[in-house]
Chain A
Amino acid sequence: MTLPRSSSSTSNSLHNQTALVTGATRGIGLAIAQALAAQGCNLVLTGRDENALRRASRELASAKIQILAQPCDVRDPQSIDDLFRTIRRQFKRLDILVNNAGIAHANLTVDKLPLPLWQDVIETNLTGMFVVTQAALAFMKRGGTIVNNLSGEFALSPCCPEPPTPLSGTRSGHKPREKR
Protein backbone atom coordinates (compact mmCIF):
# COMPACT_ATOMS: atom_id res chain seq x y z
CA MET A 1 0.00 0.00 0.00
CA THR A 2 1.37 3.39 -0.95
CA LEU A 3 0.04 6.63 0.45
CA PRO A 4 0.95 10.15 -0.63
CA ARG A 5 3.70 11.66 1.49
CA SER A 6 1.50 14.46 2.73
CA SER A 7 -2.04 15.62 2.36
CA SER A 8 -0.79 18.74 0.63
CA SER A 9 0.30 16.73 -2.42
CA THR A 10 -3.21 16.93 -3.83
CA SER A 11 -2.73 16.90 -7.57
CA ASN A 12 -5.97 14.88 -7.73
CA SER A 13 -8.31 17.39 -6.11
CA LEU A 14 -11.87 16.30 -5.50
CA HIS A 15 -13.30 19.59 -6.75
CA ASN A 16 -16.72 19.07 -8.38
CA GLN A 17 -16.86 15.43 -7.39
CA THR A 18 -19.71 14.13 -5.25
CA ALA A 19 -19.33 11.89 -2.21
CA LEU A 20 -21.97 10.09 -0.19
CA VAL A 21 -21.01 9.58 3.46
CA THR A 22 -23.32 7.39 5.53
CA GLY A 23 -23.30 7.89 9.28
CA ALA A 24 -21.97 11.39 8.72
CA THR A 25 -23.36 13.13 11.78
CA ARG A 26 -20.44 12.53 14.13
CA GLY A 27 -17.14 10.80 14.76
CA ILE A 28 -15.25 9.32 11.83
CA GLY A 29 -18.10 9.94 9.37
CA LEU A 30 -18.20 13.65 10.15
CA ALA A 31 -14.40 13.87 10.09
CA ILE A 32 -14.30 12.21 6.64
CA ALA A 33 -17.00 14.62 5.42
CA GLN A 34 -14.92 17.56 6.70
CA ALA A 35 -11.77 16.23 5.02
CA LEU A 36 -13.61 15.71 1.72
CA ALA A 37 -15.12 19.21 1.95
CA ALA A 38 -11.62 20.61 2.39
CA GLN A 39 -10.79 19.03 -0.98
CA GLY A 40 -13.76 20.78 -2.62
CA CYS A 41 -15.90 17.66 -2.82
CA ASN A 42 -19.69 18.05 -2.87
CA LEU A 43 -21.32 16.03 -0.13
CA VAL A 44 -24.36 13.90 0.51
CA LEU A 45 -24.58 13.41 4.26
CA THR A 46 -26.84 10.80 5.79
CA GLY A 47 -27.69 9.63 9.26
CA ARG A 48 -30.71 8.70 11.33
CA ASP A 49 -30.74 11.80 13.54
CA GLU A 50 -32.22 14.76 11.66
CA ASN A 51 -31.04 17.35 14.18
CA ALA A 52 -27.49 16.01 14.10
CA LEU A 53 -27.61 16.05 10.30
CA ARG A 54 -28.67 19.68 10.28
CA ARG A 55 -25.85 20.49 12.69
CA ALA A 56 -23.27 18.68 10.53
CA SER A 57 -24.59 20.40 7.42
CA ARG A 58 -24.31 23.81 9.09
CA GLU A 59 -20.74 23.02 10.20
CA LEU A 60 -19.73 22.27 6.64
CA ALA A 61 -21.62 25.13 5.01
CA SER A 62 -18.59 27.43 5.00
CA ALA A 63 -16.74 25.09 2.64
CA LYS A 64 -18.45 26.52 -0.48
CA ILE A 65 -19.58 23.14 -1.71
CA GLN A 66 -22.99 21.67 -2.44
CA ILE A 67 -24.37 19.73 0.51
CA LEU A 68 -27.40 17.49 0.64
CA ALA A 69 -28.24 16.28 4.13
CA GLN A 70 -30.88 13.58 4.07
CA PRO A 71 -32.01 11.33 6.88
CA CYS A 72 -31.51 7.69 5.95
CA ASP A 73 -31.61 4.44 7.88
CA VAL A 74 -29.41 1.93 6.07
CA ARG A 75 -31.50 -0.90 7.55
CA ASP A 76 -34.47 0.32 5.52
CA PRO A 77 -34.30 -0.32 1.73
CA GLN A 78 -37.09 2.22 1.11
CA SER A 79 -35.07 4.87 2.91
CA ILE A 80 -32.09 4.04 0.68
CA ASP A 81 -34.27 4.20 -2.47
CA ASP A 82 -35.49 7.65 -1.43
CA LEU A 83 -31.92 8.79 -0.80
CA PHE A 84 -30.67 7.72 -4.23
CA ARG A 85 -33.69 9.24 -5.96
CA THR A 86 -32.78 12.56 -4.33
CA ILE A 87 -29.11 12.19 -5.26
CA ARG A 88 -30.07 11.51 -8.88
CA ARG A 89 -32.25 14.62 -8.93
CA GLN A 90 -29.79 16.96 -7.22
CA PHE A 91 -26.34 15.78 -8.31
CA LYS A 92 -26.85 13.36 -11.23
CA ARG A 93 -23.53 11.74 -10.33
CA LEU A 94 -21.75 9.96 -7.50
CA ASP A 95 -17.98 9.60 -7.46
CA ILE A 96 -17.25 8.47 -3.92
CA LEU A 97 -19.18 6.28 -1.49
CA VAL A 98 -18.06 6.13 2.13
CA ASN A 99 -19.90 3.30 3.88
CA ASN A 100 -19.42 4.52 7.41
CA ALA A 101 -22.79 3.97 9.09
CA GLY A 102 -22.40 1.42 11.81
CA ILE A 103 -23.41 0.60 15.34
CA ALA A 104 -21.69 -1.16 18.19
CA HIS A 105 -23.04 -2.91 21.23
CA ALA A 106 -21.71 -3.22 24.73
CA ASN A 107 -18.77 -5.58 24.93
CA LEU A 108 -20.79 -8.68 25.78
CA THR A 109 -19.69 -12.28 25.49
CA VAL A 110 -21.60 -14.52 23.09
CA ASP A 111 -23.54 -16.22 25.88
CA LYS A 112 -24.88 -12.86 27.09
CA LEU A 113 -25.53 -11.15 23.75
CA PRO A 114 -29.28 -10.97 22.96
CA LEU A 115 -30.18 -12.12 19.44
CA PRO A 116 -32.08 -8.90 18.54
CA LEU A 117 -28.96 -6.87 19.32
CA TRP A 118 -26.84 -9.16 17.14
CA GLN A 119 -29.40 -8.87 14.33
CA ASP A 120 -29.46 -5.07 14.59
CA VAL A 121 -25.68 -4.92 14.22
CA ILE A 122 -25.70 -7.28 11.22
CA GLU A 123 -28.54 -5.37 9.52
CA THR A 124 -26.79 -2.04 9.97
CA ASN A 125 -23.12 -2.84 9.59
CA LEU A 126 -23.32 -5.61 6.99
CA THR A 127 -26.62 -5.68 5.12
CA GLY A 128 -26.91 -1.87 5.16
CA MET A 129 -23.46 -1.54 3.62
CA PHE A 130 -24.40 -4.10 0.96
CA VAL A 131 -27.66 -2.41 -0.02
CA VAL A 132 -26.15 1.09 -0.15
CA THR A 133 -23.25 -0.19 -2.26
CA GLN A 134 -25.62 -1.94 -4.64
CA ALA A 135 -27.60 1.27 -5.13
CA ALA A 136 -24.45 3.37 -5.50
CA LEU A 137 -22.93 1.14 -8.17
CA ALA A 138 -25.72 2.13 -10.53
CA PHE A 139 -24.36 5.69 -10.31
CA MET A 140 -20.75 4.68 -10.78
CA LYS A 141 -20.81 3.17 -14.25
CA ARG A 142 -18.08 5.61 -15.33
CA GLY A 143 -15.92 4.88 -12.30
CA GLY A 144 -15.69 5.90 -8.68
CA THR A 145 -14.32 5.06 -5.27
CA ILE A 146 -15.87 3.00 -2.49
CA VAL A 147 -14.61 3.15 1.09
CA ASN A 148 -15.94 0.66 3.63
CA ASN A 149 -15.19 1.68 7.17
CA LEU A 150 -15.23 -1.04 9.77
CA SER A 151 -14.29 -0.06 13.26
CA GLY A 152 -14.43 -2.36 16.15
CA GLU A 153 -13.32 -3.70 19.42
CA PHE A 154 -12.69 -7.36 19.68
CA ALA A 155 -12.28 -9.61 22.66
CA LEU A 156 -10.97 -13.10 23.01
CA SER A 157 -13.48 -15.87 23.46
CA PRO A 158 -14.84 -16.19 27.02
CA CYS A 159 -13.63 -19.77 27.15
CA CYS A 160 -10.06 -18.50 27.07
CA PRO A 161 -8.39 -18.71 30.50
CA GLU A 162 -6.86 -15.26 30.07
CA PRO A 163 -9.00 -12.15 30.61
CA PRO A 164 -10.43 -10.78 27.36
CA THR A 165 -7.91 -8.63 25.55
CA PRO A 166 -9.43 -5.60 23.88
CA LEU A 167 -8.11 -4.69 20.49
CA SER A 168 -9.36 -1.73 18.62
CA GLY A 169 -8.74 -0.38 15.22
CA THR A 170 -10.26 0.86 12.05
CA ARG A 171 -10.09 -0.96 8.79
CA SER A 172 -10.96 0.78 5.60
CA GLY A 173 -10.82 -0.47 2.06
CA HIS A 174 -10.74 1.88 -0.88
CA LYS A 175 -11.63 0.49 -4.27
CA PRO A 176 -11.40 2.86 -7.20
CA ARG A 177 -13.24 1.89 -10.33
CA GLU A 178 -11.38 2.79 -13.49
CA LYS A 179 -12.75 5.97 -15.08
CA ARG A 180 -13.53 5.55 -18.74
Chain B
Amino acid sequence: MMSPATVAAAVVNAILLPPNATVETLEILPTAGLL
Protein backbone atom coordinates (compact mmCIF):
# COMPACT_ATOMS: atom_id res chain seq x y z
CA MET B 1 0.00 0.00 0.00
CA MET B 2 1.20 3.46 -0.86
CA SER B 3 1.91 5.82 2.02
CA PRO B 4 0.21 9.21 2.33
CA ALA B 5 3.70 10.75 2.37
CA THR B 6 4.34 9.40 -1.14
CA VAL B 7 1.21 11.10 -2.47
CA ALA B 8 2.05 14.28 -0.58
CA ALA B 9 5.56 14.39 -2.04
CA ALA B 10 4.17 14.15 -5.58
CA VAL B 11 1.59 16.87 -4.91
CA VAL B 12 4.09 19.27 -3.36
CA ASN B 13 6.55 18.66 -6.20
CA ALA B 14 3.78 19.67 -8.61
CA ILE B 15 3.02 22.78 -6.56
CA LEU B 16 6.69 23.76 -6.65
CA LEU B 17 6.80 23.83 -10.44
CA PRO B 18 7.24 27.27 -12.01
CA PRO B 19 4.01 29.24 -12.57
CA ASN B 20 4.16 28.64 -16.33
CA ALA B 21 3.71 24.87 -15.79
CA THR B 22 0.41 23.16 -15.02
CA VAL B 23 -0.09 19.56 -13.93
CA GLU B 24 -3.59 18.73 -15.09
CA THR B 25 -3.67 15.19 -13.71
CA LEU B 26 -1.37 13.29 -11.44
CA GLU B 27 -2.33 9.64 -11.29
CA ILE B 28 -0.48 7.74 -8.60
CA LEU B 29 -0.70 3.96 -8.49
CA PRO B 30 1.29 1.26 -6.74
CA THR B 31 4.11 -0.08 -8.87
CA ALA B 32 2.82 -3.64 -8.61
CA GLY B 33 -0.37 -5.43 -7.74
CA LEU B 34 -2.74 -4.04 -10.35
CA LEU B 35 -4.04 -5.55 -13.57
Query: Contact residues of A with B, CB < 8 Å?
Result: 1-4, 7, 10, 12, 14, 27-28, 30-32, 34-36, 39, 96, 98, 143, 145, 147, 149, 165, 167-176, 178-179
Contacts and interface: CB of A to CB of B under 8 A. Distances in A.
Contact of A173 (B12, B26, B30): B26
B28 interface: yes
Interface in B1-35: 2-5, 7-30, 34-35
A32 B10 CA distance: 9
A35 B23 CA distance: 18
B4 A31 contact: yes
A1 B13 CA distance: 12
Q: Which of B3, B26, B35 has the most CB of A within 10 A?
A: B26
A96 B15 CA distance: 8
Contacts of B24: 1, 173-175
A172 B9 contact: no
Contacts of B35: 165, 167
Given A173-B23, A176-B19, A147 B14 contact: yes
B3 to A, nearest CB: 8
Given A35-B8, A172-B10, A174-B23, A14 B15 contact: yes
A169 B8 contact: no
Q: Which of B10, B21, B23, B30 has the most CB of A within 10 A?
A: B23
Contact of A143 (B15, B16, B19, B21): B19
Contacts of B17: 2-4, 12, 174, 176
